Structure 1
Amino acid sequence: MTFLLNILWLIFGGFISGCLWLLGGAILALTVVGLPWTMAAWRIAGFVFWPFGREIVDRETYDGEKDLGGGCVGVVLNIIWFVFAGWYIALSHILAAVAEAVTIIGIPFAFKDVQLAALALAPIGKKIVDKP
């Protein structure tokens, strides 16, 4: 069932959304200032291309590894991200979720867009893992 949902997701907007996340990451990579967020954007793109059967977890609680998402640095990076990009990307995912939730078939897709909106608000320190 997750395979079918992922295929439908790709056909009805997931491919375009994933490509936009990849493009955003590439633009961030072109600047020295945007490098801390590049990998987060590409990680989100991977989730956008194939979201069903996967989940978003906090990196520290999942495997205990320390990275930019841990501590004060991650908080500062997420605040900067929220101010300059996160809120309006999250708003676009929420608007897509509202449009998808109008139909019964679109409800699973709306839930994924809400997850993407939450992830778009603060992507540093998150990890995408396969569901058990």
Structure 2
Amino acid sequence: MSGLPGVGRLAVVSAAVDPTVAPSGTGCVECDAAGGWWVHLRRCAACGHIGCCDDSPSRHASAHWRQSGHPVIRSFEPGEDWFWNFETDDYYDGPELAAPQSRPADETAPGPRGRVPADWVEQLQARGH
């Protein structure tokens, strides 16, 4: 259990959560394709899509939810096991998903190494984060 506020309710294992689906990779699919960067990574609990969090410049995890209708994500950060439901705006506990459980522990956050701009903090502050 992650100790986050509101965590403790189990996410319904249904079409929203498929514990057998492997993640799409170890980085944000769209950021990797475009040469972008992210703050933290999120994993779609239905299809395994890896997207960047809403603090990231491109917010691909929530864009995936809006496009696909898959509302439940799990953190893809080392040491984090919480689930989030975009439809209910709430944290949940959920089943263990197919490995790997997170991005590689030696990869930086923000990441990926080599693509994070030197002024990344200023860029996020300019956006209001």
Q: TM-score when scaled to structure 1?
A: 0.26
Q: Which has the higher helix share?
A: 1
Q: Which has the higher strand share?
A: 2
